């Protein structure tokens, strides 16, 4: 079975997407978008086993401390792993996030430009907590100014040689488009490496998940879903939204109290 991982996209410490709840619950989900800690707690109550968080601004070279602080607080608030994708050129940023409790960070351009620093992170925190992101377009990965485009096959082999054991793979054309993932592309990527692979983007329905699961190699074991979950495109979500509508006051009351740092973030 593919593990389904909900996606939360952060910009300036706030969520990019808002859940489309039943009529009358607009204030609940609108408030959750303003408070990502509460949204993380909501996903945990809905029994998700991991949460995927993306630092959207870092994709364009903007770095906001509010987003980094928010993801630390999100991890403190739940007892499941948060995996954090942020484009950083300094290994110390990843080290500080890990030291402060974020369970897992996805390294990207730094794997190419500072491989020794990434090896140190892997040795210090383990390949379970230091994983790799691959955001491709037409078979190439944009590694930014000074590096440019690198074939995804070359990048994937490189991060495996560094010691990587897990890869998050997405194609830019899939992101937020509800067009489904190109299964042949995922099969090609999976054939390049023994690393465990999480795919991201494009999933629109339960049928998309069933199609993926029936065709994918065993080393593809999880999928990140964003827009489709926020738009309630899965049957089980009707039950969740109905319950949340009744429990709205309690959800806010409990969510505002972060409490002690979760045990998972100290592993």
Q: Domain with 144 in it: what CATH number?
A: 3.20.20.70
Tokens representing residue 9 in the block = 């996209």
- The reply to whether 267 falls in a domain is no
Count other C-beta atoms under 10 Å from residue 248's C-beta: 16
- The reply to whether 194 falls in a domain is yes
> 102 lies in which domain range?
3-252
Give the model's pLDDT for residue 263. 43
pTM: 0.90
Give the model's pLDDT for residue 251. 59
- The reply to whether 204 falls in a domain is yes
| Residue 248 pLDDT grade (very low, low, confident, very high; cuts 50, 70, 90) | low
Q: What is the pLDDT of residues 34-78, one digit of tens each?
A: 889 999 999 998 999 999 999 999 988 888 899 999 999 999 999
- The reply to whether 266 falls in a domain is no
Give the model's pLDDT for residue 70. 95
Average pLDDT over the chain reads: 88
Q: How many domains is the chain built from?
A: 1
Q: What is the pLDDT of residues 140-184, one digit of tens each?
A: 998 877 788 999 999 999 999 999 999 999 998 888 778 778 899
- The reply to whether 127 falls in a domain is yes
- The reply to whether 208 falls in a domain is yes
């Amino acid at each position: 079975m593919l593990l389904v991982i909900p996606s939360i996209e952060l910009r300036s410490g706030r969520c990019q997407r808002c859940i489309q709840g039943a009529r009358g619950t607009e204030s609940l989900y609108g408030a959750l978008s303003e408070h990502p800690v509460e949204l993380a707690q909501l996903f945990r109550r809905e029994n998700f086993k991991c949460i995927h968080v993306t630092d959207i601004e870092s994709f364009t070279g903007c770095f906001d401390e509010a987003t980094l602080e928010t993801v630390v607080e999100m991890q403190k608030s739940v007892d499941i792993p948060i995996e954090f994708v942020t484009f950083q050129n300094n290994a110390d940023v990843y080290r500080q996030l890990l030291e402060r409790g974020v369970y897992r960070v996805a390294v990207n351009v730094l794997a190419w430009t500072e491989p020794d620093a990434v090896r140190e992170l892997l040795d210090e925190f383990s390949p379970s907590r230091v994983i790799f992101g691959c955001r491709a377009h037409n078979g190439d990965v944009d590694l930014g100014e000074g590096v440019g485009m690198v074939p995804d096959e070359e990048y994937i082999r490189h991060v495996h040689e560094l010691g990587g054991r897990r890869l998050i793979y997405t194609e830019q054309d899939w992101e937020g488009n509800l067009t489904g993932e190109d299964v042949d592309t995922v099969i090609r990527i999976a054939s390049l490496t023994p690393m465990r692979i999480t795919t991201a983007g494009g999933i629109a329905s339960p049928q998309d998940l069933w199609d993926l699961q029936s065709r994918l190699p065993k080393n593809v074991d999880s999928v990140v879903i964003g827009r489709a979950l926020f738009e309630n495109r899965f049957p089980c979500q009707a039950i969740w939204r109905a319950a949340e509508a009744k429990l709205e006051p309690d959800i806010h009351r409990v969510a505002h109290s972060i409490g002690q740092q979760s045990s998972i973030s100290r592993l």
